[in-house]
Structure 1
Amino acid sequence: MARIAVIGAGMGAMATAARLAVAGHRVTVYERASTHGGSVGRFERDGFAFDTGPGLLHLPAVWRDLFVKTGKEPLERCVELTQVDPASRHVFADGTDVRLPNVSRAGILSSLEAALGPGSGERWGSFLGRARDAWERSRRPLLEEPLPADTSPFSKDPYPALRQGLLRRPARTLGEIGTRELRDPRLAALLGSHATAYGLDPRTAPAAAAVLPYMEQTFGSWYVKGGLRALADAVHERCLARKVEFVLGTAVTRVLEKDGRAVGLELDRGGPVEADIVVSGAPVPSLFENRVVSGDRPAEWPRRRTGGRTARLTVHLALRGGRPADAVHRTVVHAPDPAAEWDAIDAGTTGPRPTVVVMRPDDPLLRPDDDHETVTLTATVPAALSGGRTWAEAAGAAADRMVEAAQAAVPGLRERILWREVRTPDDIRRDTACAAVPAPALAGGSGAFLPVPSTGPLSGLYFAGGWAHPGGGLAHAGMSGALVAGLIVEGADFRGSR
């Protein structure tokens, strides 16, 4: 039985801790905040409650596997999961409005054909077929197996792009797929919004990012009653049931090292902690920036071309008036000029109106009564602003633009607002140590979109969570827990999760 110290109580870290405890190890989690969950947080006021992180769950099979492997009680006995239908609504700059059903390829294609015109559904369907090929080629080696020392095989893009034009050159980026294969600015915007949600510029994201809409439209969108925070609570309870110890309100200031091996932790309160193995679920950039891990940062970080420059601006709205029966859970109100949106992000400004995601959960647990409604708006923004401006100065005007855009999804929104709470990248940085949005691991792009591996620069040090392989997103964080636990329990013989 090894003594294992875990840094952070985020979802990837807790998924690792639960699996290691079941394997017979003594696991203690040290968390700088006063609660668990990491970015999967909660904000409450006046009987209203909001998720401060993701609002929907994709690939729930990842978390079902965790609960099966760590106890007899399955996930559905711990949280109430429902499929969201329609999965999403998209309002485009020209006023076109389309609702996409959940886990129905035929229904999606039919909806696109009806809203966007003849041929649009056929083009999207053909694209999804190629995205499926990319998924099948990359799923196992990229998401379910440890990242190998030689990552050159992932430099080649698995997306079988159509060869078009005089030189027969295939599309190399997600943006080029939209222009050359989908051939409709609204379909291109639909495609690009899946990358933007992860802080990826469609103009530079590799064609392999086509797996993002494929995953969502194939495996569905799910809601957890009480909000995604309820899932974090369930994972925490599972850890406690497996005798994982949590030390909250305690920051790790340094990973202790001896002869090139991690041997424990130095804390901001109390004495040093000895450990046989250290697992860090903290954002990898913060570990090196704050010298928690000594030495130069690994060459692999940060490899993504986003460079940690994007974050999320969130506006929580408490509304008077009940939620209409025909309201859609998630609506994407697309920016009138996606290129200008990303030019502004590159320049470190709030710029023109961004793409805004509007979340309207039909959940009585999140509102004081049926005469009120909770709505959350999110947009991808620069993690830091240029010209010395702070988010405290810019947040109000940016939130106003988001509310204005969201009226396309919620008519009369502005007049219904009782109060609003704006959560900036600085707030996220304060709570989680890093404001930037980690994206899922993607092949292609000469390997520039791969996260750091699960194994750290010291022997006995492992990385879990969204900033490590296989990258960001709630499902990927759960996958990272399975990978790290497998590497620790099975060692060099581990060939990937099953």
Structure 2
Amino acid sequence: MARIAVIGAGLGAMAAAARLAVAGHRVTVYERGDTYGGAVRRFERDGFAFDTGPALLPLPAVHRDLFVKTGREPLEDVVELVQVDPSSRHVFADGTAVSLPNASRAGVVAALDEALGEGAGRRWGDFLVRAREAWDRTRRPLLEEPLWPDWQVLAGREPYPAVPHRRLLRTRRAGTLAETGAWELRDPRLAALLESHALAYGLDPRTAPASAAVLPYMEHAFGTWYVRGGLRELARAVYERCTARRVEFVLGAEVTGIAEKDGRVAGVELADGTAAGADFVVAGVAPAVLARLTGGAALRPAHGVAPQAGAPSRLTVLLALRGGRPGGTAHRTVVHTEDREAELDALFGAAPALPARPTVTVLRPDDPELVPDAEHEAVTLTATVPAFPADRDGSGARDWGRQADRMIEVAGRAVPGLRERVLWHEVRTPADVERDTGALGGAVPAPALAAAQGRLLHPANSTGWEGLFTVGGWSHPGGGLPHAGMSGALVAGLIVEGPEFRGSQ
């Protein structure tokens, strides 16, 4: 039985902790905050409740596997899962709107043909077939196995089988997601639909590889799910699974250093001056935090993959509304910007700025647990914004308030009479994300993607120090709830089975 110290209580870290405890190890989680969950938080006021981090659950099989492997108990026994249908509603720049059924190719094709014109559905359906090929080619090495020393095989060949495009007597294949949309979908609204999946993860579709096609494919193939009571309920269930397996949680305990002796970890040092010995350390923290804990240059990312740089953040506006949720309302509506290029230039330019007309995701869950009564509605707006360091002097408050107002204006295209219904609103900025997660500027990690010379891969879970492993969105296989859960499974496998571990079978 080994002593294992886990730094941070995010979902990936807790997934690793539960699996390691079941394997017979003595696991202690040190969390600097006063609660568990990492970015999966809840805000409550006046009988309203909101998720302030992720709000929908893709690929629930990852968490189903966690609960089966750590207690032979179905996920559905500990939380109530609801399949979101329609999966999403999209309001495009020209006013066209379409609702896409959940996990139904035929339904999606029919909906797109009806809303955008005959042939639109077929082009999107053909794109999903090619996206499936990219998924099949990369799923196991990219998501289900540790990042091996020969990771370069994921960095070179583009797995998406792009359709050849003839232009100026030359034939080319799409190298970026934006080119895929423009050349293969041939409708600016379909292109906007495709690109919105990348933007939601903080990726610029003009530079994201065509392999980013796996992002809409995952949603299409495995569906979109909601946890009754909000995603915080999933965090609660994972936390309770950990405690049931005798994982010890020490909240309010900030780790200030990782002890090392002869190239191997020896334990962790805490802010109160105490130290805790450990045979293994699992760090669920952002890259800058890990560098500080290990003395920076003393730690080298395993296999030469460096942490991603320049990841954007999210701005979240929580709206308490008078008036109940109308029947038939879509859970999720994406309101697309009227000027995609201007938005992308603002977000990903040399001097990142807040776009004047952002793309806004409007979340309207049908959940009585989130509102004081049936005569009120809880709505959440999210938009991608640049990652800015915490405004410790408050100088950025006016800019965030102005951007929140823009988001409310944009959301009004999807929610008639929105402004008149607002009782109050709360703005969650990148500074809040930074405080919750420790990521500089509130940056939010994207999922790992193949191709693009490996710049969208994440560092391996093993590190340059023996016995030190990384878990969560900033390590392989990257950001997003399913990927965080996968990282927990990979780290547990590497510790329990050693370097010969080859991933889940």
**Cα distance change, pair 236–185 in 1 and its aligned pair in 2 (3 A):** same
2:103 is matched with which residue?
103
Q: What one-letter code is carried by the residue in structure 1 that aligns with 2:61?
A: A
Cα distance in 2 for residues equivalent to 1:286 and 1:123: 45
> Does residue 340 of the first structure (1) align with residue 342 of the second (2)?
yes
For residues 24-423 of structure 1, the aligned pairs below 5 Å read 24-155=24-155, 156-165=157-166, 166-288=169-291, 290-295=292-297, 298=300, 300=304, 302-304=306-308, 307-345=309-347, 346=349, 347-384=351-388, 390-423=395-428
1:465 is matched with which residue?
472
Deviation of 1:389 (Å):
9.5
Cα distance in 1 for residues equivalent to 2:329 and 2:237: 28
Q: SS of 2:342's equivalent?
A: helix
**Cα distance change, pair 386–255 in 1 and its aligned pair in 2 (3 A):** closer
Contact 1:57 1:222 (C-alpha < 8 Å) held by counterparts: yes
Contact 2:145 2:502 (C-alpha < 8 Å) held by counterparts: yes
Q: What one-letter code is carried by the residue in structure 1 that aligns with 2:465?
A: L
Mean Cα displacement is larger for which, 340-349 or 383-392? 383-392
Percent identity, aligned pairs only, is 64
Taking only aligned residues, the RMSD between alpha carbons, in angstroms, comes to 1.6
2:11 is matched with which residue?
11
Deviations along 1:261-304, one digit per CA (max 9) or x if unpaired, are: 1110011125111000000111223322x344542564656454
Contact 1:391 1:424 (C-alpha < 8 Å) held by counterparts: no
2:433 to 425, 428, 431: 428
Deviation of 1:385 (Å):
8.0
Contact 2:146 2:502 (C-alpha < 8 Å) held by counterparts: yes
Deviations along 1:342-399, one digit per CA (max 9) or x if unpaired, are: 1111232113211100000010110000010000000000002899995323101000
Cα distance in 2 for residues equivalent to 1:470 and 1:15: 14
Cα distance in 2 for residues equivalent to 1:386 and 1:430: 8
Deviation of 1:412 (Å):
0.5
Deviation of 1:431 (Å):
1.7
State the aligned residue count: 495
Deviations along 1:92-125, one digit per CA (max 9) or x if unpaired, are: 0100000000010000011011111111111101
Q: What one-letter code is carried by the residue in structure 1 that aligns with 2:373?
A: D
Deviation of 1:492 (Å):
1.9
TM-score (norm 2): 0.96
Contact 2:91 2:333 (C-alpha < 8 Å) held by counterparts: yes
> Does residue 453 of the first structure (1) align with residue 455 of the second (2)?
no
Deviation of 1:150 (Å):
2.0
Contact 1:18 1:244 (C-alpha < 8 Å) held by counterparts: yes
Deviation of 1:39 (Å):
0.3
**Cα distance change, pair 63–386 in 1 and its aligned pair in 2 (3 A):** closer
Q: Which runs of 5+ in 2 are unaligned?
A: none
Q: SS of 1:124's equivalent?
A: helix
Q: SS of 1:179's equivalent?
A: helix
TM-score (norm 1): 0.97
Cα distance in 2 for residues equivalent to 1:424 and 1:173: 30
Contact 2:58 2:222 (C-alpha < 8 Å) held by counterparts: yes
Q: What one-letter code is carried by the residue in structure 1 that aligns with 2:181?
A: G
Mean Cα displacement is larger for which, 310-319 or 70-79? 70-79
Contact 1:174 1:203 (C-alpha < 8 Å) held by counterparts: yes
Q: What one-letter code is carried by the residue in structure 2 that aligns with 1:246?
A: F
Q: Which runs of 5+ in 1 are unaligned?
A: none
**Cα distance change, pair 386–349 in 1 and its aligned pair in 2 (3 A):** farther
Contact 2:283 2:470 (C-alpha < 8 Å) held by counterparts: yes
Q: What one-letter code is carried by the residue in structure 2 that aligns with 1:492?
A: P
Deviations along 1:441-480, one digit per CA (max 9) or x if unpaired, are: 1001011110010102211000011111010000000000
**Cα distance change, pair 396–178 in 1 and its aligned pair in 2 (3 A):** same
Cα distance in 1 for residues equivalent to 2:451 and 2:87: 28
Q: SS of 1:332's equivalent?
A: strand
